[in-house]
Structure 1
């Protein structure tokens, strides 16, 4: 019996993402009277899916996701094509990206509006975003930065915007929610005077804050009011000094709400220009990063291995942890570094290590939906023979480079947010007070740092000669609004040294900050009081036993002593 070959013919058009070819078990050629049940998939006489077989599969790069058609035909060894075995209809990627989770628009001038939005996800990759103004597509932009400036607009006009995500196969997501923005009006300039015009205007909203920045053509005093309607009754901020550069931080805002803004500019001679009906929207509450990190993540070097240990949060949504290792730096995600542990334990012994090398570890908690925490980190060095161990504070060897971006250089500890029960805890004198019985979040608004960061690491260390410490990293959320991490309840009453280190993509230090975290735990206090009560009960009981014993001994002694009256 002679074996036949099978050719696969692909029509012109895009290639399919995956082909699975199942051929008949028997096929009779017209040219030769023979049958066979082995075939090969070929292109220009080259086997591209293995050797002869009863079935075969082959994957091809997908370029646009259109439908490709093809057929399998058997041939004899002279190359003559026999009967067509089957017809294939193979489609490429047809899954659209997710809908952009948030969108905000900001009027910059009387003719320009800036639109920003949250990140979409895709089963392959998001490659573009489409921008729609008043229902018509006006632009498409890359995946980063997620912003677009619309120009050539009409002053004092309300515009609406939507955004959709597009993948490489041109699948388009649902459009985002609608955001609106009214371009600034063009104030009339009085004869013989210079009107203070706004320019470089920007609004950067988060879920509860909004940073308002702008410049004016002349030095002015500024009063800014805002509200959920044109009464502007939610708050007012003012600066009584003349300046041409202005910045205001609006706080106490509600998530996913539309606000109206009014700005009064007062010249030195008392002339006032008012900009009204400036509209912006706050973002939704971040809801992606909710898992707390492990606490007390430790790496201890032994003679031939490294012992890792950690304390799991008491959180029923956590179903496991992943531990990743690197020789370069702390893995920043579950796809960075080498996975060495994936399970639900509280420790692991890493034996695939060598002496004289520093190893960096990151541990992530995860839930059933494969959401991950921001990550806790540890590193350790296995000594070579003759070397002496010297304890090193985490990231202590990171040196601060020169010529740091002024935005990072200006960072202060009170720029960081410490959040419990949905409330921001104030930072005073570089100290913050935390309830040790609850999760707390450490966060930094994304606009406070440029987009050159790799890591923001936070270390909590006990005080004393031999401090214990654990370090975790802040991770950008999917909305791109915050770097943040959730810390499980510390469960103690103690003061921790707080150290924050900002690092760039070249692992260079950009900024170091230090303060104190004062933790109070009612549960720990109750446990201590319970121990004190037990000690008191035991102490009183012991004393009663001694007293009873003394009384008993005295009574027995009196019973057996001779009676003097009978002598």
Structure 2
């Protein structure tokens, strides 16, 4: 990039007549340097002794404006451009993203004493300021690509071409995960969820606590930090409640507010003991001798009070109650 240098011509008509000063500039930029009879003063309101300004001849340092009555009338004309001079503007050390409107600019230029920084290429409303290699700067509001512009000015009035750098402002966190569920088991809790649809979604960070739901991505114990949709938390104590918060985040590190879930692991249920049915033992049939099997009532004698009781129709006897009965067989 080249600096343009302009020769400012002071035209004075003076001896006994009033002094008239005529300035002609060959570009639309402000006049920043007047050199009158070798006396430097750029009239920018800043006293700059390093460029030869003094209080004796320069109003920037509190002195009166010096005008020589003996200068001839000359028409302004441009002089050759400066050779190429390295210059640069870098935002936040070449970072791609930022979550803050406030950034740091790194500036570099040779043989300059002023600079102008702007969020728009037309530098509307921007004033020149002393050159420095770093500067705190505020971007325009609203997420998206932001471009910062800079130009530099040399002591002799040359203004550099505009340099710029861009960065993506991202202050919006992704949505929370959805359907954040827990499935407790024996010494473990299985977690499942659905990731948000945001295009810059990067991963999910899950924090666990035994007291209450973690309020931020640094509170509690981290158990997961990936892009999946499920995780099994092992090595837990049965009967104790565990609290989980799942934080979705994007490429720049904006975290969602967090989705919560909790559960209590438990031991497996012991099934009841089912006893087999009790089967009674099988009793083999009793074997009766044939001679016994052929007996009838007629083969027996029935006695009561010393008297034999006869059979009635061969099928029964008539006996008295409450008196012993004696039965015999021959």
Give the structure-1-normalised TM-score: 0.19
Structure 1 or 2, whichever has the larger Rg, is 2
Q: Which has the higher helix share?
A: 1
Relative to its length, the structure with more strand (as a share) is 1
Q: TM-score, normalised by structure 2?
A: 0.31
Q: Which one scores higher on RCO, CA 8 angstroms, separation ≥ 6? A: 2
